[in-house]
Amino acid sequence: MTRVLIDTDAGVDDTLAIVYAASSPEIELEMVTTVSGNVPVREVTQNVLYLKEILKLGVPVHSGADVPRARKLVTAPEVHGEDGVGGFRNSNHVPPVSWETKDAAKKIVSAAIDHGPKLTIVSLGPMTNLADAVAIDAEAIRHVQRIIQMGGVFTGYGNTTEFTEFNIYVDPEAADFVLSNGIKVKFVPLDLTERLFFPRPILEDMVRKSRTKNPQLARLLKKALRYYINYHRRTEKIDGCFLHDPIAVAAAVNPRWFKFVDSLVSIETKGDYTSGMTIADFRKRQRSCNSEIAVAFDAKNFVRDFTRKVFGALLHQDVIKRDCITARSTTTFDITLN
């Protein structure tokens, strides 16, 4: 069994990812650490502690970095709500839990030392905590089994600027620091996660069915997903949402569902238009590869596993093929020869 440490900036899809991880007997959830990203770290930590309560999780939670390593924090309340879960905690007056620890990086290092090649780190937010852990003990981090990062975009369009994915955009210096210190990262990028789309009617039906399994969780997911989907409606005219972070967790739950290719990835930190851009050369396999990039995965088995564990319901294979597999906006070039 794989021990998993989740580092998160818990917004809506992070919440689904944590529920998925906690419901997967294939892995042992060792710890959750929090970082500023979708919302400030104080809100992230409260979200994780609330999840810990309603899921009855016995895992430690440690808060971490409240700002990126070298720039001002950018958050996404328009996507996830001011509290990170679509306003659920604020509108339901969920009392805050006193939580003062800010030792996430040290705890990540301790877990790496204790468990070494039996530990998988799944990073669902900016890589600030991970970079801070590398600064403390790079050798310990190098020896974990794998580091999975939901982040980057390599061949398509970004979700923050035209060229950048949010997690890397928020703290590109952190991502660059990790890769520059010989830490190999397995990227699960937007190119892959945005191929799987969950329509609103399907998600609403799943949430309704989950009420008997965990009423508190169902109420949280109903509010959070409604907010998240409304954002996609306003900005992209699509009636549903993507599951970026649960797909990254799936790479720890069942690595056989994924195809990764080696690459040498660089992080742009200076550009006026490209800061946070992830750059990979797919033309050849570099001897000095610092990353692996997920280029394909078994969406059918993931969706069946995810919906069963999170909602207690299954989607039929035909529904998945018809409604959930999508192609994002790209431009096709062609030439003619007269």
- Written as six digits, the tokens of 24 are 């997967």
Q: What residue segments make up the domains of the chain, in order of their start?
A: 2-192+242-299, 197-241+303-324
CA distance 298 to 195: 11
Q: Which amino acid is at 199?
A: P
Count CA within 13 A, CB hemisphere, residue 46: 18
Residues forming a β-bridge with 112? none
pTM: 0.95
Give the model confidence (pLDDT) of 225-236 as tens digits.
Answer: 999 999 999 998
| Per-residue pLDDT at 180 | 96
- Written as six digits, the tokens of 6 are 């989740």
| Per-residue pLDDT at 108 | 98
Q: What are phi and psi of 197, to 5 degrees?
A: -125, 135
What superfamily does domain 2-192+242-299 belong to in CATH? Ribonucleoside hydrolase-like (3.90.245.10)
- Written as six digits, the tokens of 226 are 């409604």
Please give the order of strands across the beta sheet that includes 291-297.
61-63, 27-34, 2-8, 119-123, 146-150, 185-188, 291-297, 258-263
CA distance 251 to 278: 20
Residues forming a β-bridge with 235? none
| Per-residue pLDDT at 81 | 97
Pair 214, 198: CB distance under 8 Å: no
Point out the residues of the chain with pLDDT beneath 50. Answer: none
Q: What are phi and psi of 262, to 5 degrees?
A: -70, 145
CA distance 172 to 152: 10
Q: Output the 3-class SS for the chain.
A: CEEEEEEECCCHHHHHHHHHHHCCCCEEEEEEEECCCCCCHHHHHHHHHHHHHHHCCCCCEEECCCCCCCCCCCCCHHHHCCCCCCCHHHHCCCCCCCCCCCCHHHHHHHHHHHHHHHEEEEECCCCHHHHHHHHHHHHHHHCCCEEEEECCCCCCCCCCECCECHHHHHCHHHHHHHHHCCCCEEEECHHHHCCEEEEHHHHHHHHHHHHHCCHHHHHHHHHHHHHHHHHHHHHHCCCEEECHHHHHHHHHHCHHHEEEEEECEEECCCCCCCCCCEEECCCCCCCCCCEEEEEEECHHHHHHHHHHHHHCCCCCHHHHHHHHECCCCCCCCCCCCC
244 is catalytic: yes
CB atoms within 10 A of CB 308: 13
Pair 4, 122: CB distance under 8 Å: yes
Pick from 148, 195, 167, 120: which is nearest to 293 by CA?
Answer: 148
Among the listed residues 62, 80, 115, 244, the single catalytic one is 244
| Per-residue pLDDT at 332 | 59
| Per-residue pLDDT at 317 | 77
Give the model confidence (pLDDT) of 183-210 as tens digits.
Answer: 999 999 999 999 999 999 999 999 999 9
